[in-house]
Amino acid sequence: MKTNLQNKWRLPTIEEFQNVLHPNKHKIPKLNNSDYWSGFDDFDDEAWIFYFYDGTADYGSKDYAARVRAVRDVLSNSTNLSNLTIIGNLEVFNKDFGRMNWYDAVDAVEKLNYNIT
């Protein structure tokens, strides 16, 4: 069983976008066919952005306003199924947080871990 620390809400990885989310995009409520922030940031001022309209990814300035969607590993005791969709080994938060810079995206997703929306 995974600990709560391992099951925190987070921004998806590029691999999760490519292998789980993009192939199942029709199952994700309120998904915008647009660009979404990834949680992977190699550089101080850039992070990966995934483009749902064509399934590609590229670096973008962390100040750019991309869309935000939270994920976490599947929990065996998930009770709030109205707010999430289970796809593969991921729980996908059904709310699209809109466009924001990468720093605000990380903060918005982290607030889910403290039940603040």
Nearest 5°: the CA angle 21, 89, 47 is: 50
pLDDT (tens place) for every residue of the chain, 117 residues total = 344 556 799 999 999 999 999 999 999 999 999 999 999 877 889 999 999 999 999 999 999 999 999 999 987 565 566 788 999 999 999 999 999 999 999 999 999 988 654
Range of the domain at 18: 5-112
Report if residue 100 sits inside a domain: yes
Count of the separate structural domains present in the chain: 1
Nearest 5°: the CA angle 95, 75, 111 is: 45
Structure tokens at 72: 């976490």
What does the pLDDT read at residue 107? 95
What distance in Å separates the CA atoms of residue 96 and residue 24, rounded to the nearest whole number? 16
What distance in Å separates the CA atoms of residue 115 and residue 96, rounded to the nearest whole number? 16
What does the pLDDT read at residue 16? 97
Its pTM stands at 0.87
Report if residue 117 sits inside a domain: no
